[in-house]
A and B are shown apart, each in its own frame.
Chain A
Amino acid sequence: MISAFALHPALILIAGAFLLPLLKGQMRNMAVLAIPATTLVSVFLLPDGKLWETSWLDYTLAPLAVDQLSRLFAGIFALMALAGGLFALHQQNRLEMPAAYLYAGSAIGVVLAGDLITVFVFWELMAIGSTLIIWSTGTPSAWAASRRYLTVHLAGGVILFAGITGHIIETGNVGFSAMQANSIANWLILIGFLINAGAPPFSAWLPDAYPEASWSGMVFLSAFTTKTAVYVLLRGFPGTEILIWIGIFMIFYGIVYALLENDMRRILAYSIVNQVGFMITGIGIGTEMALNGAAAHAVSHIIYKALLLMTAGAVLVATNRRKCSELGGLFHSMPLTTLCACIGALAISSFPLTSGFISKSMVSQAAIDGHMQTVWLFLTAASAGVFLHAGIKFPWFVFFQKDSGLRPAEPPLSMRFGMVLFAILCVAIGLWPDFLYAMLPYAVVYVPYTAAHVVTQLQLLLFSGLAFFVMLNYLKRTPTITLDADWLWRASGPAAGRTIASALQISLACMRKGFAAANVMLSAAINRQRLPDGFLLRSWPSANMSLWVMVMLLSYLALYYLE
């Protein structure tokens, strides 16, 4: 049953993606903004419930199912597409924007899917859209990174598909609702979801691929894949305890690798893994407070991470440099970009009055409510670490530190609009959290602004700031990268493959030589028998013949008497 009035927001955005290449000039610019704006409005016009239902084979699919949680994610995805489109208006590449809208549209498709089959279809479309964004950059390194990216995601898709198939066979149910990690099929689904979340041991795909996208491409990439994974984990596996520890691992992985990193956008990529870690931990804790916190933090995170990447993109456009060791002192000529970067940095660090403060603290509060002291201690240390690796490090090394002598101009107007829009949102959500709280899946009984919370958070953050400046000498950027698990498939794997291949080749050559020698000997031996003095062609003496006739006659006689 398809109700006529419910337009599918994902299909609006995807149809828009195919429309964009046909348009030019002002028409195209209008469409770039109008398509996600329409999508955004259509998300909030949808009533709750399964709006589209159709049967396919023996299954009842629900490609459009809406509740509080899916509306929140679809809404923030549409808003992200709108702001990203605004920021990227200036992008000359004609492939990137349609790819980004296909990508964003399929992410919305995943969060509005009421069954696992629809989830899978949009999941794979997302992989295609995001790969196209990286391809559109057109550099050899982006091409290589996109192939690694696609390999990881297609492998993840295969695992997810196996899991979904198994799940449907076991339960006979295609509906997408909370599951337990209690069967092989469900474990496969969980693993498929976690690969997209950037969980270990596959975290490396994210900082490997995203920073190879263009200045605007990475803004889109940062928002959808990981947060869609957060959404499906929120819906599919709330309260799965192992997620707490996976989340905490991701949090510290992100911090440590970002501290060692030199490329400004790779710093931000590691911090995506770090922030998603907070959400995964919240999902693992699984109480209403924790799940609300994970959802709220996903929304805050999409906004401030896009803002940070917009400022990084502005710097990339203006200077064509990505490395902290080659940047610095940009606040002189890019004051607005600097201000926006600082607001994003304060928001990611959860400073009071910003969006991070009112969302991340809910996860910590859930750990406190559950009396999980160890988890809480990890989360608190990690909050300090976020300020260290992203909150100060990114703005400090890019916009302040030593003067690099660069005096680039501010970016074009459309980029500035995109940045300012999200900077305002970072602060607005921090100032009026009730607006966001009202959209969360469960009723919120949490007051973020208490004197105790503000003071303790300030202590924590300001002293980690002190640690940054005290240890500044140890944080000086060097033109290095840090090896990650992807070393296995980028260096040691191929090397091992080459070694095995050459060993195989050598042994094959040896065997071939051996066979050839044996062959020569055998054919010589056979050939010899075919010559005039060979065994069969030789002339035999007549005495031989009469001997054998006698043997035959004697045996005939013997047999006769035996009868």
Chain B
Amino acid sequence: MIDEQVLDGLHPMDKLLRADRIPHIWCPGCGIGTVVYSFLSALIKSGLDLDKVAVVSGIGCTGRAAGYINLDSFHTTHGRALPFATGLKLGNPELKVVVFSGDGDLISIGGNHFIHAARRNMDIAVICVNNFTYGMTGGQLGPTTPIRAKTTTSPYGNTEHPFNLPYLAAASGAVYVARWTSLDARRTERAIGEALAKKGFSFVEVIAPCPTLYGNMNKMKTGLDQMRFYEENSVIRHGAEPKDVDITLNGQIIVGKFVDIEKPTYLDLRDNIGSIV
């Protein structure tokens, strides 16, 4: 295996990537590529049959991920990654369905789908790359933008309360909730591995830098500035109450595994419909 690598001079992840499309379109310093690496690496380590893994993405910067991953990958309409994934799972319960999308796609446009997929406890692993803004459309204010953060549509600072994604997921019924930053590549990999192994709706939020838009408006002009901010301000607190893990503009980012519980999934309940008392 080592010799093969030496001979072709390819990146070891190229076998799971559509390598002809790399370099990808993400900006220099964008953290989504790191999350894709962590995901692919976790997928290889999980030992799942790769023919039975489907990756579903919505629209947006992170929505491009499905186009770069060389598995059964689907690029769906805006916000509809989760309903598509639900249908996929119902149609073929053998599949391991992973939704890989951004905060704008999953939480704002697809917000209702998100809470209902979590409520039903569909057996889906959701990886949400949170960059606090709508990147592809030009850096507008999103539902995760922290209070006082500047964006192109809030040039004097945001005045809306943002969503606390782990709290939203946990309250809606997710059985696994974790948050990491893209700097914690190895911990992200482990969390995604756990989410893939978990039966039920598992949710991993990964905070990623967006130097071109969000960072640029908020005094962090390069991806490295944002990574340094994560390095200095992220605090690992496993098992923290999800309601206490709000993100503020310059405050601490609490990361870790917040929820890991067992609960019958939608398919379990459907298949045992006669035996439920």
Asked if A and B bind, the verdict is: no
Which B residues have a C-beta under 8 Å from some C-beta of A?
Answer: none
